[in-house]
Amino acid sequence: MFNLAHDARAGQAESNDPAAPTLQQRLMTSGLERPEGDRCTICFDLIELPVGQHSKMNGCCMKRVCNGCGLAARQRGMFDRCPFCRTPLPHDDASMLAMIHKRVGKGDAEAIYFLGDQYYHGSLGLTKDVSRAIELWTEAAELGSLDAQYALGLVYYTGDGVEEDKPRGTHHLQQAAMKGDVESRNKLGDVEYDNANYQIALQHYMISAKLGYEKSLNYIKEMFKEGHATKAQYAEALLGYRDACNGLCNEGSFKVLLEINSYYALLASAAAPAASKWSSLMKGVGERRVGFQEGNGLLVGFFVRSGDLGVTDDVPRAIELRTEAAELGSLEAHRQLGAMHYTCDGVEEDKPRGIHHWQQAAMKGDADSRHTLGIAEYNIKNCKLAARLDDIL
Ligand SMILES: [Zn+2]
Ligand SMILES: [Zn+2]
């Protein structure tokens, strides 16, 4: 059982030896790689973060299977069996619970954690019981479950359902973070940020961003805007995140990568002429998938338009980039060009031109543009046409 008194003694003994690394040093030098438990048990790839959203565990074997492998199994017609162990999936809470209890009986850390989770939320027909949840999580944490450490960290830190004990919560987060648990690492960043220890917060976020956690990357971006992180630190986080995501990200998070490439191109070449910015940006995208090229011009266009990241608001340049993106097939670029011209946002009003862009996007299936065309037609009292356009949606 976890024991605070024991840990306090360990801490004292440690501080008596000047050569021993401090907790802070150990924190920043451990857990720099994702844990093995973050891999899919079928394809062995690291699962995209947050792991819970991109993978599934079944009560039969408690083995983590990535969504890609789950989908592949369904495409092969395996709908009602676990893609890993092929046990038929339970159809009701009671049989699901029985299955989990069987794994718990075998001392499976993930099953014990999972059962704790069910008690914490009062799901699978169980009565909500936070003390029982904590008991199970503690057992699972001792057996090596990082999810359980994280859960204990959160519950004690926030005092959600239990008496708040921030040092105890932090201790659990630290234990998990030092073993590579990314969400715990990110949460430690939050803890330090809340205590106004910005440099330590940044160090934590940097580690989790480099492990591929988008949330941490976004926090570093905010810290950069607030002046708590330098441009070089932000660029370091972007590159680290990008590298972590290479070969790992699915199409859903590719949009984020595009955004990152755009940011990075702007950061890296703040002093370089626009042409070189553009070529370095396109090079970054070209290294990935051609099908996604379209979005990038738009995103750069967006930053140029909004004057974000110290770029001067430059409407003609934004239109230029958006036009290029639109020509490359970006519906979003058409949609935004439509809005700019139609509403005279930074440019001379040119309603027919705006409508033209929306039409281009709508004809390629862009529902938003179709809807906006409906509004435009309605505004010019062409109600019949407006109704028809909305009908197509
Ligand atoms: Zn897989
Ligand atoms: Zn299974």
215: Cβ contacts below 8 Å, ≥ 6 apart: 186, 208
**Residue 186 and residue 150 in contact, taking contact as beta carbons nearer than 8 Å:** no
Domains (range + CATH), the chain? 314-392 (1.25.40)
User: What pLDDT score was predicted for residue 216?
Assistant: 96
Rounded CA separation 217/219 (Å)? 5
User: What pLDDT score was predicted for residue 194?
Assistant: 95
From the CA of 40, how far away is ligand 2's center (Å)?
Answer: 13
Tokens standing for 185? 């690492």
Rounded CA separation 137/166 (Å)? 17
From the CA of 305, how far away is ligand 2's center (Å)?
Answer: 51
User: What pLDDT score was predicted for residue 15?
Assistant: 47
Tokens standing for 308? 């974000």
**Residue 362 and residue 370 in contact, taking contact as beta carbons nearer than 8 Å:** yes
From the CA of 274, how far away is ligand 2's center (Å)?
Answer: 54
User: What pLDDT score was predicted for residue 134?
Assistant: 98
Strand partners, 108: none
For the chain, counts of helices (H) and of strands (E): 21, 2
Tokens standing for 147? 């999810």
Rounded CA separation 247/135 (Å)? 39
| Sites in the chain below the pLDDT cut of 70 | 1-16, 246-313, 377-393
User: What pLDDT score was predicted for residue 21?
Assistant: 84
Under DSSP, is residue 58 helix (H, G, I), strand (E, B) or coil?
coil
From the CA of 246, how far away is ligand 1's center (Å)?
Answer: 16
Ligand nearest to the CA of 61: 2
Q: What are 82-120's pLDDT values in tens digits?
A: 999 999 999 899 999 999 999 999 999 999 999 999 999
90: Cβ contacts below 8 Å, ≥ 6 apart: 59, 96, 98, 99
User: What pLDDT score was predicted for residue 368?
Assistant: 77
From the CA of 65, how far away is ligand 2's center (Å)?
Answer: 9
**Residue 124 and residue 96 in contact, taking contact as beta carbons nearer than 8 Å:** yes
Stated pTM of the model: 0.63
Q: Tell me the residues surrounding ligand 2 (ion) with CB < 5 Å.
A: 58, 60-61, 82, 84-85
From the CA of 179, how far away is ligand 2's center (Å)?
Answer: 25
Q: What is the DSSP string of 153-175?
A: HHHHHHTSSS---HHHHHHHHHH
